[in-house]
Amino acid sequence: MDVIATHQIGHTNTVASSGTAFTEEQLKIMKRHTNNLLISFDGDSAGIKSSKKVWELALQNEMDVKVIPLEEGKDPSDIINESPEKWKALVKNSKHIIEYFADNIRTRYQDRRKQQKEIQVEIYPYLRKIKSYTDKSYFVDYLSEHFGIDKDVIWSDVNNQETSVETYSQTKNVNSVERKNNINPREILYAVYLSKELKEKNSFLLKIKELISEDLFIEMTKRKEKILFDLDLMLDQAGDLKKIVIDMYTNLQLEKLDRERGVLRDSLRNMDLDTEKEKELMRKLRNISLEMEDLKKSGCKEISNMV
């Protein structure tokens, strides 16, 4: 009845699943026609829960996923019967899934710390599903601006849980300690600069500043004691300071290069073939891949000479 009602007011690009029987095969059929998916669901918690599978599958298939939220207890046909214009306005004003959840969190919680905790639970899982680094970068900027979270911190939290990108840290024991204790590698590198004797202290600072934003440096300065404690904890468990520094710096470099590679791939998808610009991007892409392979094999030699 919801589909019939929407078709009657001219929204003929509407379909419905049968109960909860929504599959990835059905989604791929939709993708033949469009990359834009607007999902309407019941406004209660059960409605949100039943839609999560659809959102995740759509993001994994590189679709643009927006939400048409409904008042609790109302279906699309109910709203259309009341006012077709109201339904059309809801469709027009639909928001991307991440923006929808961000608005929802701001409405439910006033405390900034609580908001940031909810973002980790409700938004980061969807952010990890987005394959396009251009889109992912946009939403990292969006969350940073609206919730006051440093962009480096968001990237670190998201990438530390990524399973789709093979990184250097997956084969290193020191980083299993890092993940177990939820330690931010940027903070550990800063703690090394603050507390350890280094061969080239100023050069070390310049190198890690390439991977850490100024905002994060300012924020970390306020938590120096906690950061130094985390370093001591890691040294107690992993022991080798030089190994810790090389592994963490290399891992962060790989994350940075992987983001750059993702942006280049996104650009190539939308570019005409056999142009000079395309050839230049292909060269950059190959150089980044070679640099990543070298880092995975040998680590960052330059940073190792500073410790």
Express each pLDDT in 150-207 by its tens digit: 887 788 778 765 433 333 334 344 444 444 445 678 888 888 988 888 888 888 888 8
- Other CB atoms within 10 Å distance of the CB of residue 192: 24
Half-sphere exposure of 239 (CA within 13 A, CB side): 1
Give burial (CB, 10 Å; 0-12/13-18/19+) of 274.
Answer: exposed
Q: What is the pLDDT, as a whole number, of residue 87?
A: 93
| Rounded-to-integer distance, Cα 180 and Cα 176, Å | 6
| Rounded-to-integer distance, Cα 196 and Cα 204, Å | 11
Q: What is the pLDDT, as a whole number, of residue 238?
A: 62
The tens digit of pLDDT for each residue in 194-253 reads 888 888 888 888 888 888 877 778 878 888 888 888 788 777 766 678 888 888 888 888
Q: Residue 7 pairs with which residues in a beta bridge? A: none
Q: What is the pLDDT, as a whole number, of residue 8?
A: 95
Long-range interactions of 85-90: CB distance < 8 A, separation 24+: 87/6, 87/9, 88/9, 88/11
Q: What is the mean pLDDT of the chain?
A: 81
Cα distances (Å, whole numbers) of residue 207 to 134, 210, 256? 25, 5, 13
| Rounded-to-integer distance, Cα 185 and Cα 174, Å | 11
The tens digit of pLDDT for each residue in 100-124 reads 999 989 999 988 888 988 998 889 9
Q: With CA atoms as reference, report the closest residue to 156 among 57, 254, 235, 242.
A: 254
More confident residue, 152 or 31: 31
Q: With CA atoms as reference, report the closest residue to 41 among 53, 24, 33.
A: 53
Q: What is the pLDDT, as a whole number, of residue 19?
A: 61
More confident residue, 239 or 72: 72
Q: Across residues 128-137, what is the average pLDDT?
A: 81
